[in-house]
Amino acid sequence: MALPACAARALGPPLQPEREAPARTTCPRRHSRVEAELAASRPGSVAASVRAGPPRGVSRGFNFQPLLDEPLKASSSLAGAARAPLFALLARGRRRRMHDLRRRWDLGSLCRALLTRGLAALGHSLKHVLGAIFSKIFGPLASVGNMDEKSNKLLLALVMLFLFAVIVLQYVCPGTECQLLRLQAFSSPMPDPYRSEDESSARFVPRYNFSRGDLLRKVDFDIKGDDLIVFLHIQKTGGTTFGRHLVRNIQLEQPCECRVGQKKCTCHRPGKRETWLFSRFSTGWSCGLHADWTELTSCVPAVVDSKRDARLRPSRNFHYITILRDPVSRYLSEWRHVQRGATWKASLHVCDGRPPTSEELPSCYTGDDWSGCPLKEFMDCPYNLANNRQVRMLSDLTLVGCYNLSVMPEKQRNKVLLESAKSNLKHMAFFGLTEFQRKTQYLFEKTFNMNFISPFTQYNTTRASSVEINEEIQKRIEGLNFLDMELYSYAKDLFLQRYQFMRQKEHQEARRKRQEQRKFLKGRFLQTHFQSHSQGQSQNPSQNPSQTPNLNANQNVTQNLIPNLIQNLTQSSGQNPSPKENRESQKQSPGQEQSDGNTSNGTHDYIGSVEKWR
């Protein structure tokens, strides 16, 4: 393409190659470095102006020489020294943009070069470090320093693969409870979740003899009917946590509706506008703050059916439940709670239709509360309701004249209260212990046939455990709560025996199901075998006369076994025959009656094992 006359005059005569320089025989883009230096040596060229100083925005201490090599090659590759006048003809703004673009490209090349060199140096250092480690560990066997190039690449590939796996693992499972991190194959077998939370022996020596009816607690709770669960909440026994489990953690057909910011939840029966739970978090303190056994038994029926006439009230089953705690820990926890300002003034203490008078139940403090009370002052008050609180709240106070201490002697009063508390506790539908959270969950699920969503958590660190007391103070606390100490020992023994009995019964049921399954599979196998054998004999009628008696014997055995197999299949399928059919089967097979008697008597093995432990 020809240039205009003005452009030709501005460019001047064409540049001729020098005599010493060799003639160009290659492509213009594949030039030599000599041409680039000649183009840079011409005065007024862009390369010469750039070489005069550092680029704009770059300090003089920066080594910008590598940044200029590529632009020089690019400038000389087009037309040699003739590019400088053409670049000068462009507008100033466009020249500046081209210059900035060129400089950015040069900085990007520099960053890529630095990154490549840095990774190479890191790999070299890592190789030396790993080589030193392997040389110390496997020194006599191999020398990492003399590894060939393939070994170095393999080692680097393994390290990079490990780092990549760590990064992917962090993205896949960022939490500490990731299932991928639980190496079940290399870990020990899962421990029994119902072992003693207090790290005591699972097998204990019973102190009390309980009947089978006392140990077997299975309530036929009909949530769709009229049955009601009543929770007796004793202070500082973990009842708040257990009460939240009842309204938020049970698998129900119609779960409780709990709104944010409200303590009470709506626990209605399926298809009814009626509650199945009487507790703090469902109905509130309808019978008073922390109502005891005496108040609840007289208050709950009237509160639940208050709008109905007494003659029209349904025959409900009231299932009372409660939670107990170690008396010393509970006492210290209540003291710490009183220190923070708790008073429980709203408690009614109604007994025999009236609350106690100020003479019958004096107060231990004169102000609004007892906050900041030291432990010695807390123990010195003779009217403190914290003393033997669990016995008082579980006993029938009407047997001792309520809070009137002048009705009977103190020794007789204490004996009546303790026996009443033990009797009420034993006949309750369920009670749990704070020190055994998982066992409490297990017994509640087996008693009411209701399962919790998430397991209970055992908290061994509480406010009471943080209180350091000496042996003298502990002995005094035990003396102030001697009735609670006796009740807790009784309750713990009964609780653990119930747990052992229910676990043994569960194991027996599992063993019986396995035996029925094996019997069922064996029956199917024998039935299939004899049917195929009889079919094969019927298809081969031409037989020797000597084999005819054997065939008849086999057919008789088959005819006798098939009814028995059908009967076994019917029993193993889980059907419940009528009483008439049971009597007929017992008449037909007396041996089977004996085996059934042994199975039914299997639940009495625990009572015999208790005698062996003693």
What does the pLDDT average to over 189-201?
49
Residues linked to residue 258 through DSSP beta bridges, in sequence order? 265
What's the CA gap between 476 and 146, in Å, rounded? Answer: 77
Closest CA to 293 of 433, 202, 210, 389: 389
- Single-letter amino acid code for the residue at 419: E
| pLDDT at res. 186 | 41
Q: In 3D, which of 39, 94, 353, 394 has the Cα closest to residue 232? A: 394
Label residue 108 by pLDDT band (50, 70, 90): low
Tally: H helices and E strands in the chain: 21, 6
Q: At what angle do helices 482-539 and 548-572 cross, to 10 degrees?
A: 150
For residue 451, the model assigns a pLDDT of: 95
Alpha helical stretches, state H, 288-388 = 293-304, 327-339, 375-380
DSSP 208: S
The span from the CA of 249 to the CA of 450, in Å, is 10
CA dist., res. 531 & res. 527, Å (int): 6
Mean pLDDT of all residues in 531-539: 72
Could you read off the pLDDT of 126-155 as tens digits, one per residue?
777 777 776 666 555 444 445 556 666 777
Q: How far apart are the C-alpha atoms of 394 and 491, rounded to whole Å?
A: 12
Q: What is the distance between the alpha carbons of residues 168 and 242, in angstroms, rounded to a whole number?
A: 41
Most confident range (mean pLDDT) of 37-46, 60-69, 420-429 is 420-429
* Buried b or exposed e, range 322-340, using 16+ CB within 10 angstroms: bbbbbbbbbbbbbbbbbbe
Average pLDDT over residues 94-107: 62
Tell me what pLDDT residue 391 has: 98
Q: What is the pLDDT of residue 446?
A: 95
pLDDT tens by residue, 204-241: 788 999 999 999 988 999 999 999 999 999 999 999 99
List pLDDT tens digits, range 479-490.
Answer: 999 999 999 999
| Terminal Cα-to-Cα distance of the chain (whole angstroms) | 118
**Of residues 123 and 568, which shows the higher confidence score?**
123
Instruction: Return d(Cα 517, Cα 523) in angstroms, integer.
Output: 10
**pLDDT score for 179:** 45
**Tokens at residue 95, please?**
């020249």
Overall pTM > 0.85: no
Which of 128, 233, 245, 290 is flagged as catalytic? 290
- The verdict on whether 290 is a catalytic residue reads yes
- Judged by average pLDDT, the poorest of 36-45, 157-166, 186-195, 411-420 is 186-195
Look at residue 452 and give its three-state secondary structure. strand
To which residue do tokens 């070994």 refer? Answer: 151
The DSSP string of 376-435 is HHHHH-TT-TTTTHHHHHHS-GGGGTTT-TTSS-HHHHHHHHHHHHHHHHHHSSEEEETT
pLDDT at 244 over 50: yes
- Domains of the chain as residue ranges with CATH: 216-305+314-347+357-512 (3.40.50)
* Cβ-based burial of 267 (10 A; exposed 0-12, middle 13-18, buried ≥19): buried
Do 360 and 426 form a contact (C-beta atoms < 8 A)? no
Q: What is the pLDDT of residues 47-64, one digit of tens each?
A: 444 444 554 444 444 454
Q: Dihedral of CA 389/391/394/398: which sign? A: negative
pLDDT of residue 295: 96
